[in-house]
Amino acid sequence: MFATLSDRLTSTFKNLRSKGRLSEADIDATVREIRRALLDADVAVTVVREFTGKVRERALSAEVSGALNPAQQVVKIVNDELVSVLGGDQRPLRFAKTPPTVILLAGLQGAGKTTLAGKLAQHLREKGHTPLLVAADLQRPNAVTQLQVVGERAGVPVFAPHPGAQEGAEHLPGASAGDPVAVARDGVATARSRQHDVVIVDTAGRLGVDAEMMQQAADIRDAVQPDEILFVIDAMIGQDAVTTAQAFADGVGFTGVVLSKLDGDARGGAALSVASVTGRPILFASTGEKLTDFEVFHPDRMAGRILDMGDVLSLIEQAEKAFDADQAEAMAGKLVSGEDFTLEDFLVQMQGLRQMGSMKKMLGMLPGMGQMREAIENFDEREVDRIEAIIRSMTPGERNNPKIINGSRRARIAKGSGTTTTDVNQLLERFAGAQQMMKQMARGGGMPGVGGMGRLPGMGGKKSRGKMAPQPKKAKGRSGNPAKRAEQERAAASRSAAPRSGPAGSAFGIPQQPPAGADPGSLELPPGLEKYLGR
């Protein structure tokens, strides 16, 4: 979402790094580019004005003029102010002293509240809580059914005493919209009796100008007395986010913000505006359609992503969730003991990466990946599936010892995996490089290329100015042609049977001294050497 803004800011800072000292004109030009980038990203004008004012004030102070690297200091100032705009420190959910904790979800129509309710429930369940979902959205057709499906996928029970509005049943006799206030109140009572420690109430979507629906949300709030009211906002709505958030703050009130659809291609102005304008922190972010595409919102980490500094901490947290600690310990022990890294181990690592989510998203969390954004966007996620299919088409013996995979085996593996022999060859070549890297790590105790432990394949380096030690010539292998191999063997046998041209110790086949009984005068020597032989 923040790709365009990140590229603009990164380009602006790149121009600063070529200057040893920054003049007031340089700072004004930088602030002007930052202002344009933020406005293009649909950030609210009041937020942009306040942000650029603080950046300019700090950039002209002694904080920058006295710094060893003024350009890096300006980047630090922009990072600090971005963190402040995004809400400062991350605030966790507030839980009630006496369970259950009641969380009320409110927001516009189509903001994604129902799906987010399931994501939040699964997140809390993984943290050790026992949440209950309450279907109080009785206005939208099939909203109750959708919440039941989402709850089943998340492994969380749903309290739904009323089916709600059904599509095509509006004009049927006896059809009733139900009372969402009563449903919410009964849901909290049920959670208390069943010992659930968290209740998540899903309410109907409404418009900022819909006074009747706003009053209904206020009535639900008064009935259940929620500990947290989360305002779910679509991160793609741009400038209108501020107006909508202000309308909900006045009509219902909320204690925190949840950004949905943060994986979209919009410019992200909502995320940079809501927290600053409303004074309410952003607690969570929804980054995809899957229930696992949900994360706690950290302002400092989001600022790092925008400035192309990466988000390594979030990447580590996802890895800890995806990879089994026992498997990781067993793998480390295997490498230390000197055992080979096999394709079976490689398959386990690939499955762990798949559990972490999208490869594009993970690569985007690495520092400096903004320069490779086009390559990351063109990355085919199905490549992981093809690799897994190739490995699964191998026998256990082939996975543990890839050296036995000859031409016929490669053809069979390609046919079984629905790929080509070229794909199998490329995988085996890449795996050989990974296997060599693992061996170097086991011998050196760290990554290759550090501390004299060699370089990774393809890693360049400056040539040594000193003399290089002579490298032994590689022995020529035997030919695969039977006739030619037989000829090579006969030639080798004749060479071994031939007498040596000089005695042992003769470096070039020239005798170090005349043979016993030989007449020195009979030796044919160059002119001038006779005096040394007493002739």
Q: What does the alpha-carbon distance between residue 120 and residue 125 come to, in Å, rounded to a whole number? A: 9
* Domains located in the chain, CATH noted: 3-85 (1.20.120.140), 101-165+176-307 (3.40.50.300), 317-444 (1.10.260.30)
* Cβ atoms within 10 Å of 384's Cβ, excluding its own: 15
Q: What does the alpha-carbon distance between residue 397 and residue 365 come to, in Å, rounded to a whole number? A: 37
- From first to last of its 535 residues, the chain has per-residue pLDDT tens of 566 777 777 777 777 776 667 778 888 888 888 888 888 877 878 888 888 888 888 888 766 666 557 777 788 888 888 888 888 778 889 999 988 999 999 888 778 889 999 999 999 999 999 999 999 888 888 889 999 999 999 999 999 988 876 665 444 444 445 788 999 999 999 999 999 999 999 988 766 556 777 888 888 889 999 999 998 888 777 667 777 787 788 878 889 888 887 776 556 676 677 888 888 888 998 887 888 888 888 888 877 777 766 556 666 666 666 656 666 666 566 655 656 678 887 777 777 766 666 666 666 666 655 556 566 666 666 777 888 899 989 998 888 888 888 989 999 999 998 989 998 998 888 888 877 777 776 665 444 433 333 333 333 344 333 444 444 444 455 555 666 667 777 777 666 555 544 444 443 344 445 445 555 555 555 555 555 555 4
Per-residue pLDDT, 443: 64
* Cβ atoms within 10 Å of 204's Cβ, excluding its own: 22
> Backbone phi, then psi, for 131, in 5-degree steps?
-80, 160
Per-residue pLDDT, 348: 77
Per-residue pLDDT, 448: 41
Per-residue pLDDT, 527: 59
Contact 440, 459 (CB under 8 A): no
232-236-237 Cα angle (round to 5)? 80
Per-residue pLDDT, 124: 93
Sign of dihedral through CA atoms 413, 417, 418, 419?
Answer: negative
> Backbone phi, then psi, for 285, in 5-degree steps?
-140, 135
Sign of dihedral through CA atoms 378, 438, 396, 324?
Answer: negative
Contact 220, 72 (CB under 8 A): no
The number of residues making up the chain comes to 535
Tokens at residue 144, please? 């109750």
Q: What does the alpha-carbon distance between residue 17 and residue 21 come to, in Å, rounded to a whole number? A: 10
Question: Burial code of 61-75, b = ≥16 C-beta within 10 A, e = fewer?
Answer: eeebeeeeebbebbb
Residue ranges for the binding site?
A: 107-114, 202-206, 260-263
Query: In sequence order, which residues have a C-beta less than 8 Å from that of residue 118 and are 6 or more positions away?
Result: 133, 147, 150, 151, 153, 154, 156, 291
Which residue, 98, 100, 90, is CA-closest to 121? 100
Secondary structure element (H or E) that encloses residue 132, with its range: strand 131-135
Cis? peptide before 503, omega within 30° of 0: no
Per-residue pLDDT, 357: 64
Reported pTM: 0.62
E-assigned strand segments in 166-248: 198-202, 228-234
Contact 271, 262 (CB under 8 A): yes
Per-residue pLDDT, 123: 92
Q: What does the alpha-carbon distance between residue 78 and residue 71 come to, in Å, rounded to a whole number? A: 11
Query: In sequence order, which residues have a C-beta less than 8 Å from that of residue 30 and are 6 or more positions away?
Result: 12, 13, 15, 16, 59, 74
Which residue, 61, 68, 60, 32, is CA-closest to 48? 32
Residue ranges for the binding site for GTP?
A: 107-114, 202-206, 260-263
